[in-house]
Structure 1
Amino acid sequence: MKVMVMVKATESSEAGKMPSQELLMAMGEFNERLVDAGIMELGEGLKPSSNGVRIRFSGKDRSITKGPFAETNELVAGYWIWNVQSLDEAVEWVKQCPNPMEDDSDIEIRPLFEMADFEDVDTDGKVKEQEGALRQNLSMQKAKINTYLFFSGRCDEALEYYQKHLGANVELLMRFNESPDPLPEELLQAGFEDKVMHCEFSIGDMRILASDGCNDADSFSGFNLALTLSSEDEAQRVFSALADGGSVRMPLEKTFWSPLYGQVTDKFGMGWMVMLPPAVE
Structure 2
Amino acid sequence: MATINPYLNFPGNAEEAFNFYKSVFGGEFTAVQRFKDTPEAGKVCEEDANKLMHISLPIGKGNVLMATDAIGPMGSGLQSGNNFYLSLAPESEDEANHLFNGLSAGGNVTVPMNKMFWGAYFGMFTDKFGIHWMVNYDYNQRN
- TM-score tier, shorter chain, comes to 0.7 to 0.9
Q: Distance in 2 between matches of 1:249 and 1:189?
A: 23
Q: What is the deviation of 1:204? A: 4.5
Q: What is the deviation of 1:154? A: 1.2
One-letter amino acid matched to 1:144 = T
* Match of residue 219, structure 1, among 66, 76, 79: 79
Could you say which residue in structure 2 is the equivalent of 1:268?
A: 129
Query: Scaled by the length of structure 2, what TM-score is found?
Result: 0.78
- Stretches of structure 2 that go unaligned for 5 or more consecutive residues are none
How far does the alpha carbon of each residue in 1:97-140 deviate from its partner, in whole angstroms, 9 at most, with x for none?
A: xxxxxxxxxxxxxxxxxxxxxxxxxxxxxxxxxxxxxxxxxxxx
Shift in CA distance, 152/189, structure 1 to aligned 2, threshold 3 Å: farther
One-letter amino acid matched to 1:157 = E
Q: Distance in 2 between matches of 1:245 and 1:194?
A: 37
* Match of residue 196, structure 1, among 46, 49, 52: 52
1:105-116 equivalences under 5 Å are none
Higher relative contact order (CA 8 A, sep 6+): 2
Shift in CA distance, 168/232, structure 1 to aligned 2, threshold 3 Å: closer
Shift in CA distance, 257/162, structure 1 to aligned 2, threshold 3 Å: same
**C-alpha contact 1:151 1:220 (8 A) present in aligned 2:** no
* Match of residue 153, structure 1, among 12, 16, 19: 12
Q: What is the deviation of 1:189? A: 6.6
Q: Distance in 1 between matches of 2:130 and 2:19?
A: 29
Q: Distance in 2 between matches of 1:278 and 1:234?
A: 13
* Match of residue 91, structure 2, among 208, 230, 233: 230
* Match of residue 22, structure 2, among 152, 163, 174: 163
Q: Secondary structure at the match of 1:237?
A: helix
Q: What CA RMSD, in Å, does the superposition of the two structures yield over aligned residues?
A: 2.5
**C-alpha contact 1:199 1:209 (8 A) present in aligned 2:** yes
* Match of residue 246, structure 1, among 103, 107, 119: 107
What count of residue pairs does the alignment treat as equivalent? Answer: 136
Could you say which residue in structure 1 is the equivalent of 2:40?
A: 182
Instruction: Find the structure with the greater CA-based Rg.
Output: 1
Overall identity of the aligned pairs, in %:
34
Q: Distance in 1 between matches of 2:24 and 2:88?
A: 29
Q: Secondary structure at the match of 1:263?
A: strand
Q: What is the deviation of 1:268? A: 1.1
Q: Distance in 1 between matches of 2:140 and 2:58?
A: 24
- Stretches of structure 1 that go unaligned for 5 or more consecutive residues are 1-141
Q: Distance in 2 between matches of 1:165 and 1:279?
A: 29
